[in-house]
Amino acid sequence: MMDMLLEVREISACYGRVDALRNVSLRVAGGEIVTVVGANGAGKSTLLLSILGVVSPTRGQIAFAGQDITRWSVHQRLGSGLVLVPEGRQILVSMTIEENLLLGAHMRRDGGVVRKELEGIYDRFPNLARHRSHNASCLSGGEQQMLALGRAMLAKPRLLMMDEPSLGLSPLFVTKVFELIEEYNRDGLSVLLIEQNTSHALKIAHRATVLELGRVAMEGEPSAMAGSARLQQAYLGGAV
């Protein structure tokens, strides 16, 4: 059996009387990009929030790096390397670019290493380097997504979770974001990617799960899914 980094076993979650997830299972092995796709309201964000511990599932288990984390706090999970790039990026626009980046490292004690990694991020994102002491409000949406990614990398993720990173970006930046995810993955990063942009996500993922109304509708090889009628159906006729 492959070495599983994340294993979600049959979790269910609800908001009051609204069932958001029903019996959802998901696995991410070390070094993989796994994508979860599905229409608006399918439960994708709830799945991420459950893994992060913000939403408490009503049943099921979650294991990460060989430990049962089902009852762990958000703080403990962050400390163990579960890092989220949230939907909408959540950049603090009244702070500088560098201050935003360093927020990612706030739980770390190895300041010297953080400085080195910060320089590595500036090498990868010259635009962030150029404006490092400027207010983050000067960045475009695409650049803010780079900043959010850089900030997450400074948290030293063992699993990087991204909630719709392509949302609202120009086509050029969409391509750039997916290239960056692949680049980091080639360096060994494991990624759980939530997307409505199915075509891009299925291209870079090693495995995919399709959610439909809170349930797993399909699971497997992304290339086999790309043109499938079942996927189209999960989107209720939406653009795939």
Q: Does 239 bind ligand ATP (CB under 6 A)?
A: no
Q: Does 133 bind ligand ATP (CB under 6 A)?
A: no
Residues composing the chain: 240
What is the Cα–Cα distance from 186 to 69, expressed in whole angstroms? 27
Q: Does 15 bind ligand ATP (CB under 6 A)?
A: yes
Alpha helices by DSSP H, the chain: 44-52, 74-79, 97-103, 111-124, 126-130, 141-153, 171-186, 198-204, 222-225, 229-234
- Distant-in-sequence, close-in-space partners of 216: CB < 8 Å, separation ≥ 6: 23, 24, 25, 26, 209, 210
The greatest distance separating any two alpha carbons of the chain, rounded to the nearest whole angstrom, comes to: 52
Q: Does 41 bind ligand ATP (CB under 6 A)?
A: yes
Q: Which amino acid is at 232?
A: Q
Q: Which is nearer to ligand ATP, 14 or 103 (CB)?
A: 14
Distance of closest approach, residue 76 Cβ to ligand ATP, in angstroms: 23
| β-pairing verdict for 18-29 and 4-15 | antiparallel
Distance of closest approach, residue 18 Cβ to ligand ATP, in angstroms: 5
Q: Which of 11, 26, 33, 42 binds ligand ATP (CB under 6 A)?
A: 42
Q: Does 89 bind ligand ATP (CB under 6 A)?
A: no
Q: Which is nearer to ligand ATP, 15 or 123 (CB)?
A: 15
Beta bridge mates, 162: 85, 193
Q: Does 43 bind ligand ATP (CB under 6 A)?
A: yes
Distance of closest approach, residue 96 Cβ to ligand ATP, in angstroms: 30
Residues that bind ligand ATP (CB under 6 A): 15, 18, 20, 38, 40-46, 196
